[in-house]
Structure 1
Amino acid sequence: MKTTAFIFFILVSVSFYGQEREAVDFLRRYELDAAQSMILQIETDFQAPLLWQLNMLYKFDFSSGVSPPQSNLTSTSVYSNFYQLVNEGDFLFYSMEGENLKALEKYQEALQYAEKNDNVQLACEALKKILTLHRIYYLYDNQTYTQYLEKYGSLAYDDFEMANYHYYNLILNFKNYYTDQWKLASQEWLDTYFKTHKEPYLMARVYNVYASYYEELEQYDKTNVYIEKAATAYDKVPYKFKRTRVNQLLAFGARIAASQNKTDAMARYLADFDTTLANKTDLQFKSLYHYYSSVLDTFQGDYKSAYHNYYKYEVSQDSSRRYRYDNLLNDLEVKYQTAEKEKQLLVEKQRATANRNALIAALLLLLVGGVVSVLLQKNTAKKRQLAEQEALLKQERVDNLLKQQELLSIDAMISGQEKERQRVANELHDDLGSLMATIKLHFDNSKISKKDPALKNAQKLLEEAYQKIRGMAHTKNSGVMSDQGLLPAIKKMAQVITETNALEVTVENFGMGDRLENSLELNLFRMVQELLANAIKHAQASKVVIQLTQHKDSLNIIIEDNGKGFDRSKVVTNDTGMGLTTIEKRIEHLEGSFTVDSILGKGTSILIDIPV
């Protein structure tokens, strides 16, 4: 009897396992109705994580902020445990307070869990989540996706997975810019696949990449063809998860139409926009919607509407990027004001004409008095406007002068710090170091018995003191002031800190080949040194990652820790070091940007981006 019950249990378990695998097979192909039917046949205890993933794809709405149940990996179902992790990652990634690094960690944990259980199907699902995250947010920053892309290519277990691999191989190497990195073999493979397989969502994404590629080649006829093909494929997908991708395509189409002055096409693309804010990626495309609506209004001469749309676009942009678009905003404002003045002048002219015709026969003197009054009013308004403009110019001059004085003060402070480091290093090395060396020489030449234990201890302590003084001198005069350069100096500093076992500091670099100008390297080294010191003193972190990425005309430095985070508005100014405000002013002086993203209890990310 016990044997029969055991066999029955095994058969039921295998049956549920097969149903779960089949449900995931429907999910990966975005056949949601079939997936729902299969999930409801699974044992109730295993349904919740799969149903959360299903409903997420149905609605793709994270605006409520309701997170999935926290993963505990206590279920006897591998699929249930796996989707607990994936669901947490999706929520962290797409919610309005999106946390990309934490989402990536959850996806990586899901990948490790799938590999631990030898489940290739789930491993591929985790890898697609990781690659999608890189596609959306890290497309231009680094090459960290490479290992995941290679692993996905090796695990792809059928043509559908291989088609997805070739899609990621195209977009992650091309990066919407590098035509020399276009993978023609992947394009040919996908063209052959789509002749016999109709996967509308995958097809739409691939055609979107094709359109971007042909735009870079300035083959705009092909660009428009593939935009329309992608739109047609999206029309065949009935579920909400496509909304953000559709908006991306519509923004792309509107941009291409604008470049070709095709206002009818622009209007058609913008009319199809869905401006619902259901997840954080919708914010970007709603912003683009306002931008291209402003451009269309400008083409059509509706400058008031153009101004309002551009204002909405500006509000939705990050403050560090707004300066790039000030010229367009000013242009729209001038055109709007000009149109309003022309309209006002026309109205006044018509009114004056009517008054003149009515009063010529009756009251010529009153007409003359009215004309004089109008002229005086215009003259007064013009004088007032000129006075206001002059006051604004004076205020701008004062603000610029104060800013220059502040930057000069910061330069003087940093210069003084470097001179003080040099002076202390020289005194330690030249004066105290020489004195210690002389004392050591006298000890070595003394006629006292060399076997005297006291003499040996004294010599040993003297040698240790001499080495410490030399070390202090080198430390004070270290960094990029030697011939080693910025990257080796930061790596050396990270190694020294890590060896103390107080904090693990990791340095990653991408494209750091040529050295920078020495004063710039020195400034950057001191900034990184100060930020590491802050992490050691205040963050209570166990790990810090420093990423240095050198592009063609810019340098990107990211410093992330897993510490306790902080509220910057409550940070007390540090008078003994650079401090965050001083660092920010220095970077502003270098025409760069400085961004601090810190959440209490969740760590801190600092981004420095400067032109080189």
Structure 2
Amino acid sequence: MRNKLILIFFFFTILTHAQEKVASRAYFSADFYQVLNAFRALDVAKADSLLEVKSFENEFITDFFRQQLDEFKNGEYEAYKSAKERFDIRPDSTLGSRFLKEIMLGDLAMNDKISKDSLGFDHYLKAKIIAETQINDTLRAEVLKRILRYLFKSEKNGDLYELYMKEYKTVGYDDYEKLYAVYYDLGLHMVWKFYDDPNLPSPIGLCEEGIELSKKLGLTYMEGRFCQLLGVNYDLFEKEHEKGFANYQKAIDKFETIPYYYAQSSLFGMYVNQGSVFQDTKVYPKAMEYFHKALKIPIKIKNRKDLVLLYNYMYLNQKVQKRMDSAVYYLELKNKMQDELDLLNNALAVDEIQTKYETEKKEKENLQLKQDNLILENQRKFSRNMSIFAFVIFIIATINFVLVYKNLKKKQKLIEQEKQLAMQHTEKLLQQQEINAIDAMIRGQEQERNRLANELHDNLGSLLATLKLNFQSLSGKMKQGSEEILTHSEALLEQTYQKVRLLSHSKNAGVMANQGLLPALKKFADDVSKSKKLRVEIQEFGLNERLENSVEILIFRIIQELITNIIKHAEATQADIHLTQYDDRINLMVEDNGEGFDTHQIVNKSGMGLVGIEKRVQNLDGNMEIESIKGKGTTVIINIPI
């Protein structure tokens, strides 16, 4: 059973050939992505035809796609050493080129005849750094799939596998990446159940989810892969051999429709799995039938480890059936293949010994070179010592000069710092004096406004009201024919009375400040809105407590000045006041739907004025922005710390 799962896990890693979706759109053209999408859809024929008509100036892109095509169609790989020598002399000035270079070298190292997994993993990590530097999820997803393949193939570092799996799930940007995430997540759960805790539930739900998503995307190969793994769950974990066999057959049906290497290599494993099911249930002739199907798969798809496992199955099958000649035959084939594996491992060991020998030889050469250099050094030592003596004298003199110079510079720096402190103190005093002057001006304006408002209301307002009554009495006694003149005169008198009344209310609105800023603003807005010419609305947020009285008066007068400017100049029908307190700042925004103006031609004529408002806000460490478009209105935004 363990050998069966190991075989499934080995073929699990083949999927990486179907996941080539590399690089940022900042580096590659639309043609690149057109070819890439064909590979992502596992449409090898389309990818092949596109590469016949597409050309790329970047040689790394051409090599990358050709390498993928050879892997998909034939399972062929260039030797890692020759590819690296070729890449090392080729310019790779762009990040896209460097990324593709590291990805290709990583793939070739993983698939080299003498496996260089750790070297390939190192290339993948370099590619991952490039992707993270660019904050590019597309690149990160591509390299993370390869890292997951390596960790799954090694069947080690379960915690590291889980860590990278979590990261990969965060960068899935479309249904293809979600499908591959389900695939690798399924593999992780099967490893946990087999190696860590057999009592964990079988991840059958992930298999079914993968099958549905594969159907949605039209990926026949992926549907077959998930059927195969569903069969493994039923056969190995649930001990429901019939369901396992049925799903194995579904996978075979899918793979047999695809003539390329990436699918045919999976067929080899499926036939072995089917045979092992029959062997476990002691249906030995049927088992041999599937083992022979596996042997008919082209030889380049089967590696030596697979064949050792297959020949061992066939040897045990014939041995149980007492067919000793056949059993001996398959045992010899197994031993022969095992010997080839041992020779390959020995070659790897020899290669390591050769590397060690060359390293030691290089170290000896370096040692001899050091000895030669030591002799030359002794010959130069005497003359050098003499030079040193003269140089020391020079250094002593130079040090004295430098110390004196540094002392002078230090004194100059202290003097400059004192001057700067004095200037800062003076500027602070001037700023405070300016603030005090503006405060005094505001207090004076407040008193004058109150006096003027009372005067308008009590004297001129009452006089105009009396005049209006007398004029109405007079109009009843006038002769017929003067009605039009009287009506027009009465209208003018009514308009004058209303303007005096509005001015009285607007100038005197600040008297409500002792009740709080918001009541005063609402009363002010109501009074202005009664004219029917300008509607003023107030929206506030966060003003749960009273502010300092001087701040409330300042904000009120700023708003009053802005609304007065709107009435005088904007020809607006709507003005909105937004007043917000958050943390330790007050945000004020006044906007209207009036005519707008050129903000570069602001003139400060009377009252606080826009220039005066901005100066006062700046002295409070605040800021003011004015946005205005002719014909579309004006917005004034003010931020004041409190």
> Normalised by the size of structure 1, how large is the TM-score?
0.47
Structure 2 length as normaliser, TM-score?
0.45
Higher Rg: 2
